[in-house]
A and B are shown apart, each in its own frame.
Chain A
Amino acid sequence: MKTKKIIPNILVVVFCLLYLFPIYLILTNSFKSRAEMYENMVALPTKFSLKYYASALDKINFSISLWNSIVLTVVSIAIIVILSAMTAWMFVRSKNKLSTFFFGLLVATMLIPFQTIMMPLMQEMNWIGNHLHIPMTDTVPGLIFMYIGFGAGMGVFLYHGFVNSIPVSLEEAATIDGCNTWTLFWKIVFPILKPTTMTVIILDVIWIWNDYLLPSLTLKSKANRTIPISTAKFFGQYTISWNEAMAALVITIIPVAIFYMFCQKYIVKGVAAGAVKG
């Protein structure tokens, strides 16, 4: 029995390692000088020096950028999760024309390529800044506001699908026990949605953490920059400072990788009670 299981395990591990070949390229080349990288892209570096990591950290103003990225990601996602769970649940549970219309609109707008609305969006945001005196551009809260709008589609879409699979009977029982709509949602429904919440969080974290275009249009001043904006300067028009860019990339993905490892265990735990066992 034991030997039988070793082979598939090994196969899976080997496959995973092959699958990550491009990541291997990023890692090894983040230690190499330009000439060394040019000599042989695939070979291991001859010496492990953290030189490029140090200069990348210095050039991207790491502590400020990291802090901005974290605030932006955490706050945006907390609000996206709360609001889209509430909205999706309401849309499923009261199936009226308004719900259908807005759900359709949310899903349809997920299909708009961002490049085509970025100019009107910026015009509108500046208009709000100039006429309503709510600064939307070059402020982190303004950008969070925009992320909520852009994250609404996928959030509601994912929750909508899973709310559909929760039996209504559970909620009706709770209503009879005296829960009002608010407590019903937070005490009964939201906990059941945990696996979906995790999915939404994971997918949105990666989107917002890596997003370049939207922040590059809104966050201009030095104090507001996120990690992707701070690393943009490694990409010149014709040439890339490869080693610094890759070192910066490795630094950028470490926090999300750790976060993901933490979360994916949680997906299992959230449902594993009573589910698949070996």
Chain B
Amino acid sequence: MKMKKTLAFFLAATMTATLALEGCGSTADSGSKDSTSTSGESTESAGGAEEGIEYGKVIIFQSKTEIMDQLNKCAEDFTEETGIEVEVWETSGDSYFTDLKTDVSTGKGPTLFSLAPGSESVTMADYLEDLSDLSFADKIAENMADEVNGKMVGVPYTLEGFGLVYDKSLVDPATLNSTDALISFLEKAKADGINGLGLSQEDYFLIMHILNTPFALQNDPDAYLAQVLAGTVRMIDNEEFVEFAKVMEAIRANCTNPVDLTYDNNCGDFATGKTALIHQGNWAYGMFKDYEVEFEMGVAPLPIVGNNKVAVSVPAAWYVNTDASEEEKASAKAFLEWLYTSETGADYLMNQFGFIPVVEGMTSEKLDPLSQSVADAAAAGNTIGWSLSNWPAGISTALAPITAQFFTSDMTGEELVNQLNDAFVEAAK
């Protein structure tokens, strides 16, 4: 028995020891990997890397999951051309901002990350490195680089625009030039048995995007928003919002109930010719490609009060983490430099990611039809801004339930606008 006891004890002891050792082994491994990468033996001077500067490893973390595969390949090419190590972290679209927040707050943030310019970049202002020394900084299209507290901190991904995405075989966009024209089209579509205008149940596609237009059409959208938030003006006293209310009532009366549609369904109906117009943006094209859509399409303005402009803005931009080491920051900047100025980088931006060029001198011939129509609107100056990026944080979760209520009851458009207005005032408190 005594023998057995000792044996059992030794077995247990060695087991624990091996476990502990295994732990140490693998951690030591990853440690050494890190240290070699920070020493950066890269002396090749291709693309963004310059001689005489120490480069660390770039960790990229970004929210656009659609470009993840291409971005991974892009990172490999960058490493090959410059010798700087890159790692791309992955996440799901929904958990991105939560993950990022936890990471930076616990001191383990990525080097290069994406944010939505506006509310997100303002809250994180003290984590953002000044990027004005990038060689292409002053070639970025006007008003598109993100400036916070007078510093240029964000390099735009692409342009995104939304409005009425139309199927030209079902509707001629030129005829939709006023609220009344739009409403009579919706009535006619209902009589023809097709869905005139599709919204869908997601917060942004149900209300946020469509509500942007009346705000952005004000003479000074920022000042107007401030007045709404302060409660000194009421939205319903404003012509744009009155017409917006009419459009919403017409959608409820004539179209498929948006709360029954998901983004996928809404786009699916459009792609299969069951819906003539959807209030969407150029990002939706990725899905239409899967359907092998053949009809001609584009993005048209939401014509309230005769509006002829599409809402165009920068959906996301690159930011460098100011808490990263000097070597890492140098590498992150080198990566941006390479992405926007080298031939390989530009090829990724425009052909692989399908981005609309935002830097002077870059042109893309391979844009999809929706992006092309956004790019055309931008080139012609026919754009309004995304007022919604300045709306109070979390407002979408307050506006969407009100709108869903509107679509499932007999609330009037005026009541809708008033309740939305109240939600803004409430959120500003």
Contacts and interface: CB of A to CB of B under 8 A. Distances in A.
A123 B205 CA distance: 36
B193 interface: no
Contacts of A140: 26
A201 to B, nearest CB: 18
Contacts of B292: 35
Interface stretch (B104-112, B140-148, B171-179, B405-413): B104-112
Interface in A189-243: 213, 216-217, 220-222, 225, 229-230, 232-240, 242
A122 B95 contact: no
Contact of B87 (A33, A222, A235): A222
B380 interface: no
Interface stretch (B2-10, B157-165, B241-249, B393-401): B2-10
Given A38-B272, A122-B106, A232-B92, A183 B8 contact: yes
Contacts of A35: 268, 271-272, 290-292
Nearest to B200: A238
A119 interface: yes
A35 to B, nearest CB: 5
Nearest to B72: A222
Given A119-B106, A217-B99, A135 B8 contact: no
A3 B85 CA distance: 70
A59 B69 contact: yes
B66 interface: yes
Interface in B53-100: 59, 63-66, 68-69, 87-96, 99
Nearest to A140: B26
A165 interface: no
Given A119-B106, A139-B27, A141-B27, A232 B95 contact: yes
Nearest to A223: B30
Given A135-B27, A232-B95, A233-B68, A183 B90 contact: no
Interface residues of B, number: 49
Interface in A102-139: 118-119, 122-123, 125-126, 130, 134-135, 137-139
A213 B102 CA distance: 12
A126 B108 contact: yes
B264 interface: yes
A237 B63 contact: yes
A122 B1 contact: no
Contacts of B64: 236
Contacts of B107: 126, 130
B5 A232 contact: no
Given A229-B90, A232-B90, A233-B91, A238 B263 contact: yes
B147 to A, nearest CB: 25
Given A216-B99, A217-B102, A34 B290 contact: yes
A182 interface: yes
Given A33-B290, A35-B290, A135-B30, A236 B65 contact: yes
A38 B91 contact: no
Nearest to B20: A141
Interface string A134-160: 110111111000000000000000000
B127 to A, nearest CB: 16
Contact of A141 (B4, B23, B91, B268): B23
Contacts of A182: 5, 8-9
A238 B93 contact: yes
Contacts of A233: 65, 68, 90-92
A186 B5 CA distance: 11
Contacts of B106: 119, 122-123, 125-126
Interface in A45-104: 59, 75, 79
Contacts of B103: 217
B93 A237 contact: yes
A178 interface: yes
Contacts of A169: none
A238 B283 CA distance: 10
A9 interface: no
A134 to B, nearest CB: 8
A252 B94 CA distance: 21
A40 to B, nearest CB: 12
Given A35-B292, A222-B87, A122 B8 contact: no
20 contacts: A35-B291, A38-B264, A38-B265, A119-B105, A130-B107, A134-B27, A139-B26, A140-B26, A141-B23, A141-B26, A142-B27, A186-B8, A216-B95, A230-B90, A232-B65, A232-B92, A233-B90, A236-B64, A236-B92, A237-B65
Interface of B: 1, 4-5, 8-9, 19, 22-23, 26-27, 30-31, 59, 63-66, 68-69, 87-96, 99, 102-103, 105-108, 202, 204-205, 263-265, 268, 271-272, 287, 290-292
Interface of A: 33-35, 38-39, 59, 75, 79, 118-119, 122-123, 125-126, 130, 134-135, 137-142, 178-180, 182-183, 186, 213, 216-217, 220-222, 225, 229-230, 232-240, 242
